[in-house]
Amino acid sequence: MDSPQSPRAQHHDERELAEFIRAGSKRRPDQAFGDYYSGHSASCALGAAYEAMYRLPAEVGGQHPTRDLDWFFDCLDNVKACPAEGCKKRIYLAALIVHLNDDHRWSREQIATWLAGEPKAAPPKTAP
C-alpha cells in the first residue's frame, strides 16, 4: 500500500472528485449548508466526497473530513477562480467548493458538473 510520501502514490483529479461528490450525494440525498453533515441524510459537496471515500455512520454531526481528502485529491490545494457569475474570489479549491455550496447555494450536482468540466445544462425553453 502506498503512503502519502510514496513516489508511486496515486492522486486524483477534479473529474474524479466530481464522481465522488455524486456517489456520496446518493448516500445522503439532502444538501447541507454551513456544515459538512446535517442529520442523517444531508451533506455538503465536500462531505459527500468524503462519504464516498469512507462509509460513515448515519449520525456524523460535527465531524469534518480529514486530511485524507486533501491528500487523495491533491487538486484541492490548487488555487482557482470562483465560477459563479460576478464573483471575484480566487481561493484554494477545497475552500471554493465550500464557498459554492454555502455562499452561492450551488447544488452538489452543479459543483460536480463544474469540476468535471461538463457543459452546463441549458435552461428549459419557455413556450411562446
What is the rounded distance in angstroms from the CA atom of residue 97 to the CA atom of residue 18?
A: 11
Domain ranges of the chain: 14-116
pTM score above 0.85? no
Mean pLDDT of the chain: 81
In this predicted structure, the answer to whether residue 47 has a pLDDT above a threshold of 60 is yes
Tens of pLDDT, residues 102-114: 999 999 999 999 9
Q: What angle do CA 120, 34, 100 make, to 5 degrees?
A: 25
CA-closest candidate to residue 26, choices 56, 48, 46, 57 = 48
